[in-house]
Amino acid sequence: MNVLWVFAHPEQASLSGVLRDEGVRALTEAGHAVRMSDLYAMKWKAVVDRDDFPEETSPRLEVASASRRAYDAGTLSADIRAEHEKLDWADTVVLQFPLWWYGMPAILKGWVDRVFVKGFAYGVTDPSDGRTLRYGEGMLAGKRALVVLTAGSREPAFGPRGINGQLDLALFPLLHGTLWYTGMSVLPPVAIYGADRMSAEALDAAASLVRSKVLSAATDRPLPYRHQNHGDYDGDLVLRPAHAPGETGLAIHYRAGDR
């Protein structure tokens, strides 16, 4: 595998840092190539603004069209282009972060906001038939995405009836709305719970889990999200009545029989 590991923790000497080092070492020892985007260490700029599009001259900034123009012209800021080059190289993308307010830390959300520009990660159409390529198709299709996170909560609170929402509900905007949207195959997320009070035994188990899941990323079964263009949705992008009839909520976004 060619693995791009995107890491978003402010402290190298953290549980997250230990787990990252374990995962990277396991991959390297198994002969895989790993490149790292350590966002805090890179002092990654988190906020989309006009500086992302240095040649943009429109007095009124319209982000989507400005990013599209800059992407097509090759004039996005250099830090964004460097991430595109890494993503082009990678067949597997690991996003590792501490879960803050049930989502990515701002620095990682800003990596998504700034790197996943129009023309690169969305707003792409098939030249042969003009259909929009998203949700299972797109420029990043063929790559696999694995989320690795640490959370203070204990596991039951993220279970199917836990107060925080089951993990794939809390992560729906990232797993489905971002990674699957761009075309990537999304692996079941790896979560380390109770991260703020971890025994030595629990740390060993967590490291072992992370090593195992990154090593099997190429072969593990992705989440069975529905494709936009495989006939499940009507012209308004509403699920046809034949699929999960009468149902709503999270479950309908998985293919029946594959849940």
DSSP conformation class of 155: G
- Of 71, 120, 135, 193, the one binding its own copies (CB under 8 A) is 135
Q: Measured between alpha carbons, how far is 47 from 74 in angstroms, rounded to an integer?
A: 20
Site for its own copies in 162-181 (CB under 8 A): 162-166, 169-170, 172-174, 176-178, 181
Q: Measured between alpha carbons, how far is 193 from 68 in angstroms, rounded to an integer?
A: 39
Structure tokens at 153: 């909560």
Q: Measured between alpha carbons, how far is 250 from 107 in angstroms, rounded to an integer?
A: 27
Q: How far is CA 244 from the centre of its chain?
A: 26
**61 makes contact with its own copies (CB under 8 A):** yes
Task: Write the interaction track for its own copies spanning residues 71-110; mark x where CB under 8 A is met and - where it is not.
Answer: ---------------------------x-xxxxxxxx-xx
Beta bridge partners of 145: 93, 186
Q: Closest approach of Cβ 137 to its own copies, in Å? A: 13
**183 makes contact with its own copies (CB under 8 A):** no
**160 makes contact with its own copies (CB under 8 A):** yes
Q: Closest approach of Cβ 61 to its own copies, in Å? A: 4
Which range, of 20-28, 88-96, 152-160, 185-193, touches its own copies by CB under 8 A? 152-160
Residue entry with tokens 């830090």: 79
E strand or H helix that includes residue 108: helix 106-115
In angstroms, the Cα distances linking 114 to 22, 79, 101, 111 are: 28, 9, 21, 5
Residues 168-181 as b/e (b if ≥16 CB within 10 A, e otherwise) read: bbbbbebbbebbbb
Angle between helix 200-215 and helix 15-29 axes, rounded to 10 deg? 40
Q: Closest approach of Cβ 92 to its own copies, in Å? A: 20
Q: Which is nearer to its own copies, 126 or 196 (CB)?
A: 196
Q: Which is nearer to its own copies, 30 or 250 (CB)?
A: 250
**188 makes contact with its own copies (CB under 8 A):** no
**13 makes contact with its own copies (CB under 8 A):** yes
User: In the complex, which residues of this chain contact its own copies (CB under 8 A)?
Assistant: 10-11, 13-14, 40, 46-50, 60-64, 98, 100-107, 109-110, 112-114, 116, 135, 152-154, 156-157, 159-166, 169-170, 172-174, 176-178, 181, 196, 226, 228, 233, 236-239, 247-253
